[in-house]
């Protein structure tokens, strides 16, 4: 079955004409990324030669995907937008809330009980508003999207940073915060700063132990965790076309780890093969017809330096397998140097656990190649030294690899198969003994290895590698083992060598699945009731944030000056906190508990300016909030790196932090802050970071004339009576300043100008008709009407005037009121 075929047809029909027009206006041959971006301009966006890294541009993505941990907040916001249905095809995937403990079946049934309320909420919202719903156990969002929804040349956004996985099938797929998803689902334009372009030319061919994962591990080493910020990475060359489509997906997926907006590959035969294998021959046929438009122009690939902002070349024939880590995904070590590096850095060399799978590395090919190594264990008289686990990316993959005997092979080496879900990758891993906080090493084929991420133990050294290398290291139980050159001693005391991994790209007998776990939305969802209990500790309806008070901000407290790496995992931890992703008040209790305080080098220990005592970050901030005192958070480079979770922006906003001032931001987090009405500021002079003292009272000046490209100033009022005045930059454009003023983008949505409404908003998509019509030019009148109807204009005006947040809530939520049934129960004590 092909989902949303009419939408794909309409996109393909319009693409060649749009690309030709864009080529004329831009006046040069186009990269693939440009072709997709220019053919997805919002109907009200004027076509011009956009400044890469400069122009803010309005786009009309084809679809939206959300996973359970972020969908809760996104859909809570969508509900308050007052729309009857989503305007573009959208899906929800339940994958983050399943703890890996015993094994797939038990873990799944436990999650279905533990998180029943959340799954019920998500499924009823999906049914009501027309979203496709993928049940717990159906698979991990990005794998399910690749198998069912991604299509070459398409554009999508998703509330997860690894949405970029769909670049493996030639899409421009971008990770965003929930508020961005709300814009698109509400039928409005989606704004993005036109990205810069990085070209990566792949020559040669993957062989032996090297796999697609090693390409991105190598790229991460070259570009570092911030090298891709604000850029789309486009891969091309013979090395690209010779690798599998799912391999391309792996490369794009982990592209999130270099901060790239997204990564993509031109349409080729590997993609066509994958489309056919996953039941979408029709899409492949359509793509074949316009294949020139689904890849970069030949002039671009012949002379990449002329067309990309940066070009990197990697020869796959010479590429070594890599292992990246610990604690950061860009610390890349080729396998031949691993022993030396481990000794030099004191990394524990005993490998305790090898974990394969996840959204990025659980394709049929990955599993087949890893299984070819597992098979050698008994054939060569070996015994697997480390524990070994597999998390398949989807039920379709799991069912097929079971049918083809791979699960049985892994069983024989004592492997545990976890549910088709994120599990250990996101800290949903009840790892025995993790609470002892012992120094130990694990190796996995996931994306991220930030401190504490997998098992909550800050002393776990996690390394990222290909599934093949992870399997080999787990068999050897030793980080010093280089499977390319080293021998292992088997049970009989003989020296044996592992043969390089082999495996089919796609299943010979085709994919199969019994119950993929999909639930289609109701034809008419208007009668569906969405329940949110006021007593729930998992879900909480949102109240709009108060608008800006109209003055400069004076005497803010410093909540924390964070030192070094401060990812979204440090700002809003996952693991056990995932369960509060739909409850802003409760999840705010994890605010910045992973960040290191510059002044005492401790985690979760900051000075409370009111008492002089040190306490946990959320507690200190709550005491400021109770007194109505605003505060500021100061951070280092690439602040907010990692996840798309907007909780990392909503929590400080909710608790009364007014500004985040850092040396530099990760893209998604900066946008999330803006959307939630926060001030996201950067030091004009990075050394000014050193001027911020623990007891400073800080003023933010210039807000009454807040305008694009005009820096603000901060007065640092030090304890000793001295002052420092420093300049801070921002990247707000005019409409983003309006979000700040209104208190959030969602507040502003109510008073958004009619031009922002996409034509598709007028239909209750994803009805076929509405979707197919999307690319047609907007009929202004209709668009206007829609917005008028949906936008609680009066309400927002009132808010700004009176600044009474409570009142706003009531009114703003009105359109959804009927459907949101509050279950009144006695308040728990």
Q: Could you give the residue numbers annotated as active site?
A: 95-96, 160, 448, 643, 645
629: burial class by Cβ within 10 Å (0-12, 13-18, 19+)?
Answer: middle
Closest distance to ligand SF4 from the beta carbon of 338 (Å): 23
Closest distance to ligand MIC from the beta carbon of 543 (Å): 22
Spatial CA neighbour of 161 closest among 136, 147, 180: 180
| Residue 316 and residue 210 in contact, taking contact as beta carbons nearer than 8 Å | yes
H or E stretch at 495: strand 495-496
**Count of residues near ligand SF4 by CB under 6 A:** 12
- Residue 425 interacts with ligand SF4 (CB under 6 A): yes or no: yes
The one segment of 137-145, 532-540, 676-684, 819-827 that binds ligand SF4 by CB under 6 A: 137-145
Q: Which of 71, 73, 76, 140 binds ligand SF4 (CB under 6 A)?
A: 140
Spatial CA neighbour of 219 closest among 303, 325, 332: 332
- Residue 742 interacts with ligand SF4 (CB under 6 A): yes or no: no
3-state secondary structure of 506: coil
- Separation CA 476–CA 658 (nearest Å): 51
Closest distance to ligand SF4 from the beta carbon of 639 (Å): 20
Closest distance to ligand SF4 from the beta carbon of 409 (Å): 23
- Residue 359 interacts with ligand SF4 (CB under 6 A): yes or no: yes
Of residues 140 and 714, the one with the C-beta less far from ligand SF4: 140
| Residue 761 and residue 190 in contact, taking contact as beta carbons nearer than 8 Å | no
Q: Which of 94, 131, 275, 426 binds ligand SF4 (CB under 6 A)?
A: 426
Spatial CA neighbour of 1 closest among 392, 282, 289: 282
| Residue 673 and residue 649 in contact, taking contact as beta carbons nearer than 8 Å | yes
Of residues 38 and 450, the one with the C-beta less far from ligand MIC: 450
DSSP 757-792: B-GGGGS-TTSHHHHHHTTSPP-HHHHHHHHHHH--
- Residue 682 interacts with ligand SF4 (CB under 6 A): yes or no: no
- Residue 447 interacts with ligand SF4 (CB under 6 A): yes or no: yes
642 binds, among ligand SF4, ligand MIC, none (CB under 5 to 8 A by kind): ligand MIC
Q: What's the first-to-final CA gap in the chain, in angstroms?
A: 51
Closest distance to ligand MIC from the beta carbon of 327 (Å): 15
Q: Which of 231, 422, 673, 799 binds ligand SF4 (CB under 6 A)?
A: 422
| Residue 91 and residue 66 in contact, taking contact as beta carbons nearer than 8 Å | yes
Q: Which of 6, 68, 160, 365 binds ligand SF4 (CB under 6 A)?
A: 160
Q: Which of 133, 446, 683, 732 binds ligand SF4 (CB under 6 A)?
A: 446
Q: Which of 241, 358, 394, 588 binds ligand SF4 (CB under 6 A)?
A: 358
The one segment of 134-142, 166-174, 484-492, 795-803 that binds ligand SF4 by CB under 6 A: 134-142
**Rounded alpha-carbon distances, angstroms, from residue 465 to 250, 257, 355:** 12, 14, 10
595 binds, among ligand SF4, ligand MIC, none (CB under 5 to 8 A by kind): none
Of residues 161 and 389, the one with the C-beta less far from ligand MIC: 161
- Separation CA 748–CA 80 (nearest Å): 12
645 binds, among ligand MIC, ligand SF4, none (CB under 5 to 8 A by kind): ligand MIC
Spatial CA neighbour of 733 closest among 695, 707, 752, 771: 707
140 binds, among ligand MIC, ligand SF4, none (CB under 5 to 8 A by kind): ligand SF4
Of residues 426 and 434, the one with the C-beta less far from ligand MIC: 426
Closest distance to ligand MIC from the beta carbon of 590 (Å): 12
Of residues 44 and 641, the one with the C-beta less far from ligand MIC: 641
Order across the sheet with 310-315: list the strands.
262-265, 231-236, 196-203, 310-315
| Residue 356 and residue 370 in contact, taking contact as beta carbons nearer than 8 Å | yes
| Residue 226 and residue 259 in contact, taking contact as beta carbons nearer than 8 Å | yes
Q: What is the dihedral angle through the alpha carbons of 793, 798, 804, 805, rounded to the nearest 10 degrees?
A: 10
446 binds, among ligand MIC, ligand SF4, none (CB under 5 to 8 A by kind): ligand SF4
Closest distance to ligand MIC from the beta carbon of 425 (Å): 6
Show Cβ contacts of residue 315 under 8 Å, excluding neighbours closer than 6 positions.
203, 204, 239
DSSP 8-state code for residue 293: G
The one segment of 57-65, 421-429, 760-768, 794-802 that binds ligand SF4 by CB under 6 A: 421-429
Of residues 90 and 447, the one with the C-beta less far from ligand SF4: 447
- Separation CA 201–CA 400 (nearest Å): 33
Closest distance to ligand MIC from the beta carbon of 245 (Å): 22
- Separation CA 405–CA 375 (nearest Å): 11
Of residues 162 and 385, the one with the C-beta less far from ligand MIC: 162
Of residues 69 and 374, the one with the C-beta less far from ligand MIC: 69
99 binds, among ligand SF4, ligand MIC, none (CB under 5 to 8 A by kind): none
Closest distance to ligand SF4 from the beta carbon of 114 (Å): 18
234 binds, among ligand MIC, ligand SF4, none (CB under 5 to 8 A by kind): none
244 binds, among ligand SF4, ligand MIC, none (CB under 5 to 8 A by kind): none
H or E stretch at 531: strand 530-532
Closest distance to ligand SF4 from the beta carbon of 159 (Å): 11
If you search the block for the tokens 């030090």, which residue do you land on? 718
Spatial CA neighbour of 501 closest among 245, 205, 210, 218: 210
80 binds, among ligand MIC, ligand SF4, none (CB under 5 to 8 A by kind): none
Kindly provide the b/e burial profile for residues 572-600, where b requires at least 16 CB atoms within 10 angstroms of the residue's own CB: bbbbebbbbbbbbebbbbbbbbbbbbbbe
Closest distance to ligand MIC from the beta carbon of 693 (Å): 33
- Separation CA 778–CA 42 (nearest Å): 9
Closest distance to ligand MIC from the beta carbon of 185 (Å): 18
Closest distance to ligand MIC from the beta carbon of 453 (Å): 8
Tokens for 178?
């929930």
| Residue 33 and residue 22 in contact, taking contact as beta carbons nearer than 8 Å | no
**Rounded alpha-carbon distances, angstroms, from residue 489 to 96, 102, 342, 385, 494:** 39, 31, 22, 12, 5
Of residues 568 and 597, the one with the C-beta less far from ligand SF4: 568
Of residues 517 and 642, the one with the C-beta less far from ligand MIC: 642
- Separation CA 131–CA 134 (nearest Å): 10
- Separation CA 430–CA 99 (nearest Å): 7
Beta strands 712-717 and 723-729 are antiparallel
- Separation CA 126–CA 188 (nearest Å): 19
Of residues 187 and 249, the one with the C-beta less far from ligand MIC: 249
Binding-residue pattern over the window 311 to 350 for ligand SF4, x denoting contact by CB under 6 A: ----------------------------------------
Spatial CA neighbour of 734 closest among 716, 753, 713, 718: 753
The one segment of 114-122, 136-144, 260-268, 779-787 that binds ligand SF4 by CB under 6 A: 136-144
Binding-residue pattern over the window 161 to 200 for ligand SF4, x denoting contact by CB under 6 A: -x--------------------------------------
Of residues 422 and 562, the one with the C-beta less far from ligand SF4: 422
Of residues 161 and 604, the one with the C-beta less far from ligand MIC: 161
| Residue 104 and residue 419 in contact, taking contact as beta carbons nearer than 8 Å | yes
Q: Residues in the site for ligand MIC, rule: CB under 6 A?
A: 69-70, 96, 160-162, 175, 426, 448, 574, 642-645
Interface contacts to ligand SF4, rule CB under 6 A? 140-142, 160, 162, 358-359, 422, 425-426, 446-447
């Amino acid at each position: 079955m092909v989902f949303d075929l009419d939408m794909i047809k309409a996109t393909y029909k319009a693409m060649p004409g749009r690309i030709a027009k864009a080529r004329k206006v831009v006046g040069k041959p186009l990269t693939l990324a440009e072709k997709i971006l220019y053919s997805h301009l919002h109907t009200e966006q004027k076509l011009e030669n956009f400044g890469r890294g400069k122009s803010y541009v309005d786009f009309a993505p084809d679809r939206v995907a959300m996973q359970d941990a972020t969908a809760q907040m996104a859909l809570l916001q969508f509900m308050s937008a007052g729309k009857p249905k989503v305007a573009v095809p959208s899906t929800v995937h339940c994958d983050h809330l399943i703890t890996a403990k015993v094994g797939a079946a038990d873990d799944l049934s436990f999650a279905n009980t533990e998180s029943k309320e959340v799954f019920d909420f998500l499924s009823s919202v999906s049914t009501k508003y027309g979203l496709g719903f993928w049940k717990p156990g159906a698979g991990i969002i990005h794998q399910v999207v690749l198998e069912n929804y991604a299509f070459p040349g398409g554009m999508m956004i998703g509330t997860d940073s690894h949405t970029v996985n769909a670049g493996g099938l030639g899409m421009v797929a971008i990770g965003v915060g929930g508020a961005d998803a709300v814009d698109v689902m509400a039928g409005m334009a989606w704004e993005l700063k036109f990205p810069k372009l990085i070209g990566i030319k792949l020559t040669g061919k993957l062989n032996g132990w090297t796999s697609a994962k090693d390409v991105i591990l190598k790229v991460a080493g070259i570009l570092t965790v911030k090298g891709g910020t604000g850029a789309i990475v486009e891969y091309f060359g013979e090395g690209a076309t010779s690798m599998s489509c799912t391999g391309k997906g792996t490369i794009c997926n982990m592209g999130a780890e270099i901060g790239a907006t997204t990564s993509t590959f031109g349409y080729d035969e590997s993609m066509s093969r994958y489309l056919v294998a996953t039941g979408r021959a029709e899409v492949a046929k359509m793509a074949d017809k316009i294949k020139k438009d689904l890849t970069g122009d030949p002039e671009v690939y012949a002379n990449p330096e002329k067309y990309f902002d940066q070009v990197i070349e990697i020869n796959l024939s010479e590429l070594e397998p890599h292992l990246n880590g610990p604690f950061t995904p860009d610390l890349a070590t080729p396998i031949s140097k691993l022993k030396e590096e481990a000794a030099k850095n004191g990394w524990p060399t005993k490998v305790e656990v090898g974990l394969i799978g996840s959204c990025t590395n659980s394709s049929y090919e990955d599993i087949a190649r890893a299984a070819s190594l597992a098979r050698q264990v008994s054939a060569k008289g070996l015994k697997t030294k480390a524990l070994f686990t597999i998390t398949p990316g989807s039920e379709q993959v799991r069912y097929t690899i079971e049918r083809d005997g791979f699960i049985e092979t892994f069983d024989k080496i004592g492997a545990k198969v976890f549910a088709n879900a994120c599990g250990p990758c996101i800290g949903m891993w009840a790892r025995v003994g993790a609470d002892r906080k012992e120094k130990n090493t694990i190796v996995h084929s996931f994306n991220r290895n930030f401190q504490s991420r997998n098992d909550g133990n800050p002393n776990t050294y996690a390394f990222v590698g290909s599934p093949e290398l992870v399997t080999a290291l787990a068999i050897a139980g030793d980080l010093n083992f280089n499977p390319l050159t080293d021998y292992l001693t088997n049970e009989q005391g003989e020296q044996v060598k592992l043969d390089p991994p082999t495996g089919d790209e796609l299943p010979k007998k085709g994919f199969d699945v019994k119950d993929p776990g999909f639930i289609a939305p109701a034809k008419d969802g208007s009668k569906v009731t969405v329940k949110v209990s006021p007593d729930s500790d998992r879900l909480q309806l949102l109240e709009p944030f108060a608008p800006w008070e109209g003055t400069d901000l004076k005497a803010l407290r410093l909540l924390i000056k964070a030192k070094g790496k401060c990812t979204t995992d440090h700002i809003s931890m996952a693991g056990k906190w995932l369960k509060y992703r739909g409850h802003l008040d409760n999840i705010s209790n994890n605010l910045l508990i992973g960040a290191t305080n510059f002044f005492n080098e401790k985690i979760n220990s900051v000075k409370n300016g009111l008492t002089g005592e040190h306490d946990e970050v959320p507690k200190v901030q709550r005491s400021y909030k109770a007194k109505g005192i605003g505060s500021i958070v100061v951070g280092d480079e690439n602040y907010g790196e990692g996840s798309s979770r907007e909780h990392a922006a909503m929590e400080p906003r909710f608790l009364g932090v007014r500004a985040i001032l850092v040396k530099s931001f990760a893209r998604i987090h900066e946008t999330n802050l803006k959307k939630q009405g926060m001030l996201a500021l950067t030091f004009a002079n990075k050394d000014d970071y050193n001027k911020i003292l623990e007891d400073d009272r800080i003023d933010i000046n210039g807000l009454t004339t807040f305008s694009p490209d005009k820096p603000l100033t901060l007065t640092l009022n030090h304890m000793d009576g001295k002052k420092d005045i420093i300049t801070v930059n921002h990247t707000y454009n005019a409409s983003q300043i309006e979000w700040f003023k209104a208190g959030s983008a969602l507040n502003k949505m109510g008073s958004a100008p009619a031009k922002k409404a996409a034509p598709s908003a007028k239909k209750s998509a994803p009805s076929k008709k509405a979707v197919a019509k999307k690319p047609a030019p907007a009929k202004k009148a209709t668009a206007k009407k829609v917005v008028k109807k949906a936008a609680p204009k009066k309400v927002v005006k009132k808010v700004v005037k009176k600044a009474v947040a409570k009142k706003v809530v009531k009114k703003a939520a009105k359109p959804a009121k009927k459907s949101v049934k509050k279950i009144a129960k006695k308040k728990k004590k």
